[in-house]
Amino acid sequence: MLPTIEWQDDAIVMIDQRKLPSAEVWVRCRTANEVARAITTMVIRGAPAIGVAAAMGIALAMRRSKATGTRQFAAEFQKTCDRLAATRPTAVNLFWAIERMKKTFAAVAQTGASVGEIRTRLEDEARAIHDEDVASCREMGRIGAEYVPDGARILTHCNAGALATAGYGTALGVIRAAAEAGKRVSVLADETRPFLQGARLTAWELVRDGIDTTVITDNMAGAMMRQGLVDLVVVGADRIAANGDVANKIGTYSVAVLAKAHRIPFYVAAPLSTIDLATLDGDHIPIEERPAKEVTHVGPTRLTPEGAKIRNPAFDVTPHEYVSAIFTERGACTPPLAESLRRVAGTQDASTQD
């Protein structure tokens, strides 16, 4: 499995997800500002992956800091956290990871540690966030795979795969784990307009793994369901509110409504770092509006006439009534989701801010 993001000497290296599948290009970030730009421009994307990138970006910035005293070091640290927090608003994993780095900083600084010692602890924390994400994906994959029958035809939306995490994936982790358990599975991948994460990234990952994959345009999902070609849906999430409402890639809500109309289970796979008990419901989740150019153009080709207004909300909210279960690394949450989410995530340190 290709690493989504890794340390290489004094840089953070990530595969450029804007270029896949036509080219495998690696981007080297040498500053936190470069990491922030990589997140905003979608070189790296996917909720857990941007959290990991932010943590690594903070560690990188503090490694390169010339500060000698802890006061100046702390001021630089805060500025770096603010810069990374301003990249994308919806995925709570970003704020969760930054908060974790802040808590680490405060705990070490409070012991009277030197700049060098704080720096080392921040790097260790960023590595831990990375490694724990892969472990969480594997565990939630194992748990979710129990809900996948042999021969299942699975529809997924966007890319919730290895590329969207530190490795293995959330929704694709469930599919991978089912395949590894010997189940025959096939996947319908929604292309996911406008950024085409499904057509480009999900299909690329699954084909590399030898999993039977068919790409459909987003507007084909209903017809496929009506023809009895879909047994279950599994998607990832960018933020899950306390009542179980799920923010995920734009188009997820339509898939959930279609799934309910056809009595098809609609599953969400997400680590605890995606659960935001501080946000009461989906109406309080900030939805990112991305540049119009993602809609008006495909590559260099303009699709829309000048003068037409454009909307480009990058996410939507699926109300909890549409969700059959949420797979986490600590178990599957089933309705009533508010209760089961509190049970799995209530004890985790999931404070968020935005």
Give me the residues that bind ligand MRU (CB under 6 A), please.
45-48, 91, 158, 160, 164-165, 170, 197, 236-238, 248-249, 314
Least gap, CB of 243 to ligand MRU (angstroms): 19
Please give the Cα distance from 155 to 262 (Å, whole number).
13
Q: Identity (one letter) of the amino acid at 95?
A: F
- Are 61 and 80 in contact, with CB atoms under 8 Å apart? yes
For residue 48, say if its preceding peptide bond is cis, omega within 30 degrees of 0: no
For ligand MRU, the closer of residues 88 and 100 by Cβ is 88
Q: Report the DSSP pairing between strands 275-276 and 186-190.
A: unpaired
For ligand MRU, the closer of residues 46 and 57 by Cβ is 46
Q: Identity (one letter) of the amino acid at 2?
A: L
For ligand MRU, the closer of residues 104 and 273 by Cβ is 273
Q: What is the DSSP letter of 284?
A: G
For ligand MRU, the closer of residues 16 and 76 by Cβ is 16
Least gap, CB of 207 to ligand MRU (angstroms): 19
- Are 39 and 51 in contact, with CB atoms under 8 Å apart? no
Least gap, CB of 274 to ligand MRU (angstroms): 7
Catalytic residue among 190, 238, 245, 316: 238
N-to-C CA span, the chain = 33
Least gap, CB of 197 to ligand MRU (angstroms): 5
> By Cβ distance, which residue is nearest to ligand MRU?
236
Any idea which residue has 């748990």 for tokens?
143
How far, CA to CA in Å, does 39 sit from each of 5, 33, 34, 127? 12, 10, 9, 18
Any idea which residue has 């702390």 for tokens?
74
For ligand MRU, the closer of residues 104 and 274 by Cβ is 274
Least gap, CB of 165 to ligand MRU (angstroms): 5
For ligand MRU, the closer of residues 114 and 254 by Cβ is 254
Please give the Cα distance from 302 to 284 (Å, whole number).
34
Q: Which residues pair with 138 in a beta bridge?
A: none
Hey, is 68 helix, strand or coil? coil
Least gap, CB of 45 to ligand MRU (angstroms): 3
Please give the Cα distance from 18 to 313 (Å, whole number).
18
What lies within 8 Å, CB to CB, of 40 at 6+ separation is 87, 88
Q: Report the DSSP pairing between strands 186-190 and 212-216.
A: parallel
Please give the Cα distance from 187 to 203 (Å, whole number).
9
For the chain, the residue count is: 354
For ligand MRU, the closer of residues 197 and 352 by Cβ is 197
Is 238 an annotated catalytic residue? yes
Least gap, CB of 123 to ligand MRU (angstroms): 24
Residues classed as catalytic = 238
